[in-house]
């Protein structure tokens, strides 16, 4: 028995679950396409408001040097998580894209928190709600994402992780990626226009 879609933060809640076919496409489509989707880990999460695109011919991508070491997961099945440690301290979560054998993924950079706020506040030590998931490291801390989820499917019928399509249209913006030095001129960062939960605002003027 399915009741009417609940309303969260003024926005209608999620559409159907995303499947492997969603992620098997060109990462150029998936990275902006994830904006507005609902991400849940163990029932805790929110609406994706910021992503970045990484691919095999991209010097800034971990997959640039081939399917070796931790980057091997990026060449695995689409719709799985690639979780790695950043700067020795933080976890960062990606969703693997394109057919198996290709090394592409989307970095999850920020969420608008909607589900399980108390759990997120506890993990984030009572920081302001605006900063619960505003950044790749913060997002993983709030959702309890760590190395145990590396290589795990986000599209399997049963599992800890699920994604749902947006309920309505999404107002997209794009800009330069953040925190990298190589291939820094590619406008492969995507966001939901005007969201207060971005890790950093998108410049008003085109770059």
Partner DNA sequence: AATATGATAGTCT
Partner DNA sequence: GACTATCATATTG
Q: In the beta sheet, which residues pair with residue 40?
A: 45, 162
Q: With binding defined as CB under 7 A, does residue 199 bind DNA? A: yes
Q: With binding defined as CB under 7 A, does residue 116 bind DNA? A: no
Q: With binding defined as CB under 7 A, does residue 69 bind DNA? A: yes
Q: With binding defined as CB under 7 A, does residue 175 bind DNA? A: no
* Cβ closest to DNA, residue 17 vs residue 85: 85
Q: With binding defined as CB under 7 A, does residue 121 bind DNA? A: no
Q: With binding defined as CB under 7 A, does residue 49 bind DNA? A: no
DSSP string, 153-182: BSSSSSSSEEEE--SS---EEEE--SS-ST
Least spacing, CB of residue 9 vs DNA, in Å: 21
CB 74 within 8 A of CB 103: yes
CB 187 within 8 A of CB 175: yes
Distance CA 152, CA 93 (A): 11
Q: With binding defined as CB under 7 A, does residue 76 bind DNA? A: no
Q: How many CB atoms lie within 10 A of CB 124?
A: 18
Q: Using CB under 7 A as the criterion, which residues of the chain lie in contact with DNA when the complex forms?
A: 52, 54, 60-63, 65, 68-71, 74, 82, 85-90, 92, 94, 105, 107, 124, 127, 131, 135-139, 177-182, 199
């Amino acid at each position: 028995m399915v009741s009417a879609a609940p309303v969260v933060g003024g926005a209608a809640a999620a559409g159907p679950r995303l499947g492997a076919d969603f992620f098997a496409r060109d990462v150029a489509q998936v990275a902006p396409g994830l904006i507005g989707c609902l991400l849940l880990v163990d029932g805790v999460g929110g609406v994706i408001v910021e992503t970045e695109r990484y691919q095999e011919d991209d010097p800034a991508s971990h997959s640039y040097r081939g399917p070796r070491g931790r980057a091997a997961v990026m060449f695995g099945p689409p719709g799985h998580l690639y979780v790695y440690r950043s700067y020795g301290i933080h976890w960062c979560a990606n969703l693997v894209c394109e057919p198996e054998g290709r090394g592409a993924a989307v970095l999850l950079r920020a969420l608008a928190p909607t589900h399980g706020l108390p759990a997120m506040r506890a993990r984030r030590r009572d920081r302001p709600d605006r900063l619960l998931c505003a950044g790749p490291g913060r997002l993983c801390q709030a959702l309890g994402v760590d190395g145990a989820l590396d290589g795990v499917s986000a599209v399997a019928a049963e599992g800890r992780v699920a994604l749902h399509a947006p309920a309505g249209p999404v107002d997209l913006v794009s800009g330069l990626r953040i925190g990298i030095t190589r291939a820094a001129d590619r406008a492969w960062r995507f966001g939901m226009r005007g969201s207060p939960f971005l890790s950093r605002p998108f410049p008003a003027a085109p770059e």
